[in-house]
Structure 1
Amino acid sequence: MATRYDSDFHGWTQEQANLLRANNLNQLDTKNLLEEIESMGRSERRELRSRLEILLAYLLKWQYQPEKSGRSWQLTIEEQRAKIMECLDDSPSLKNKLNEHLEKAYASARRLAENETQMSQSIFPKHCPWTFEQIISSEFFPD
């Protein structure tokens, strides 16, 4: 049977918020509410990894194709750094597994850098050659 969750998601969210405010916990759609809360957490993690992936790919490109680096690459790097810090400020618990996020993002970044540079992925280090502190530093651009 279709529920308001299925037919009017926005209306459902407002209804659930009102039920919480009124402390009508027995009327909550707990199954879907729990699913949405868990989904929000996964979304935050995916955003962090995606931004790390882009940043790392551009740092690889900066290092391995310095002749092609320029203002647009620098702006992309700066933007991703700022967005990563926003992610971590908004969701500090993501810092608990930062090394795991960094390694997973780096694996994807190698593939992205390979596609964008037309260089073999094997040229790039197998593991991230930089610390989180380096990649997030506004002063860091690899040689």
Structure 2
Amino acid sequence: MLHLQHDRDFYAWANDSAAHLRAGRWAEVDVDQVAEELEDMGKQQKHALAGHLKILMLHLLKWRYQPALRGVSWRLSIDNARDEIAELLEDSPSLATKLPEIAARRYPAARSRASLETGLALETFPVECPFTREQLVDQDFLPDESASGQA
């Protein structure tokens, strides 16, 4: 019954499950489903971090390799991505340890997208992420077009 309710109305199921847990009515809780949902919530946080990192790295690459086209839009995209990353890390500090791994995993997609958006050859951009963890989260960091490699 609880599993069917989960499939029919997630919001109602979540509220009912929370009420049962608070009241100590363990037998009325679909423990496996609650555990699965909790794991999914963690995955969603990690996925959101990955998405914001990709956007951030994309715009940092564009900023570095197309200085003549720098504008408010790119700066706002960089700032917005950093704000979202900061909020995610504030809400889930344990994700901070995953940031370098996630950045390394998402960098190839950011690199490919930067090539596509700028029209520059893929080889223009470093194969590995040129930005350190500190640079990625530093609200004031903007790459200089003459910089090369990781700082």
Shared fold, TM over 0.5:
yes
How many Å separate the matches in 1 of 2:44 and 2:78?
22
How many Å separate the matches in 2 of 1:108 and 1:85?
21
Match of 1:119 in 2: 120
Deviation sequence 1:85-127 (CA, Å, 0-9, x none): 1110100111122210110121221122122112222211011
Tell me which amino acid in the other structure corresponds to 2:29. L
Deviation sequence 1:36-89 (CA, Å, 0-9, x none): 111100000000011010000000000111111101111111111111111101
Aligned-residue CA RMSD (Å): 1.4
Correspondences of 1:78-89 after superposition (within 5 Å): 78-89=79-90
Shift in Å, 1:130: 1.5
Residue segments in structure 1 that go unaligned for 5+ positions in a row: none
How many Å separate the matches in 2 of 1:135 and 1:8?
39
Q: Secondary structure at the match of 1:3?
A: helix
Q: Secondary structure at the match of 2:58?
A: helix
Give the 4+ runs in structure 1 shifted more than 4 A.
none
Q: How many residues align?
A: 143
Deviation sequence 1:9-54 (CA, Å, 0-9, x none): 1111111011001011122112221111111000000000110100
Tell me which amino acid in the other structure corresponds to 2:40. S
Q: TM-score, normalised by structure 2?
A: 0.89
